[in-house]
Structure 1
Amino acid sequence: MDWGKGIILTIIGFVIVVMTMVVISVRMDGIELVTDNYYEQEIKYQDRIDEEKLTLALGRDVLVYESDTKSVILDLPVGSKGKLNLFRPSERALDQELAVEIKDVGKKEVSIKHLKPGYWRVQLSWTENGENYYQEKKISL
């Protein structure tokens, strides 16, 4: 075999590999952004940073994960309202959002035993005395 045939066969092989990779990537399911409104959330990112700073200024840990009981403990005052997001980065279909409203004095316990084992982000955003707050915990079940 001479040089010309070798170069032609190499180029044809390269084109076949590239086309195969293109076909495989086009047919893949489940490729998505983390959230539907990703760009809107990026614009509001500074608000999230400000909410986290307010949470740190409270001087208490509002969101605590108890691994023994597989539950999340919320330490919020009476009258607080917000939402608890159970976010699974690897599988969007497992994400859950729970409404939180504190009506009684004391800590509120939210069981997360029903969640699939793996890596989760527990995100709590709430309003307390007219101010917005945010805290996030990364946990493994």
Structure 2
Amino acid sequence: MDWGKGITLTLVAFAAIMISMVVICVKQDDIHLVSQNYYEEEIKYQEQIDKVANTVALGREVLAFDGQLKKVDLNLPVGAKGVLHLFRPSDARLDQKIDFEITDPAAQSVNVADLKPGYWRLKLSWSENGVDYYEEKKITI
């Protein structure tokens, strides 16, 4: 084999590898952004900081996870309402949002035994007495 054929085979092999890599990358369908509306959330970030400051000022733990019973306890007063976002960073298809309104002080827990095992973030945003709050907790099921 002479130099011309060797160079030609090398370039053809390189082109075939590059084309196959492009095809593989284009066919991937499990690419998830952390958030679909990232830029809108970034603009509202100061509001989020204020909500976190309000939560810290409460001086109590609002969101508690019991790993053995696989439940999340919400320590909120009657009349509080909001959203509990069960956020899975590795797969957005597993995310869940649970709307709630506390009417019974005894029933303030959410069963998470049905969630896929792994790393989760619990994002709790609620309002009580006209003040907005936010707390986030990282858990492993």
- What secondary structure does 1:39 align onto? helix
RMSD: 1.8
* Structure 1 counterpart of 2:135, one-letter code: Q
- What secondary structure does 1:114 align onto? coil
1:8/1:50 CA distance change after superposition, 3 Å: farther
Residue number in structure 2 paired with 1:86: 86
Structure 2 Cα separation of the partners of residues 53 and 107 of structure 1: 26
Query: Is contact 1:75–1:106 with CA below 8 Å preserved after alignment?
Result: no
Residue number in structure 2 paired with 1:62: 62
Structure 2 Cα separation of the partners of residues 15 and 48 of structure 1: 49
Query: Is contact 2:123–2:134 with CA below 8 Å preserved after alignment?
Result: yes
- The TM-score normalised by the length of structure 2 is 0.88
Query: Is contact 2:32–2:91 with CA below 8 Å preserved after alignment?
Result: no
Identity %: 55
Structure 2 Cα separation of the partners of residues 6 and 54 of structure 1: 70
Q: How does 1:25-36 map to 2 (within 5 A)?
A: 25-36=25-36
- The TM-score normalised by the length of structure 1 is 0.88
In the alignment, structure 2 segments of 5+ residues that lack a partner are none
Structure 1 Cα separation of the partners of residues 107 and 54 of structure 2: 20
Residue number in structure 1 paired with 2:47: 47
Structure 1 Cα separation of the partners of residues 5 and 39 of structure 2: 50
Query: Is contact 1:79–1:101 with CA below 8 Å preserved after alignment?
Result: yes
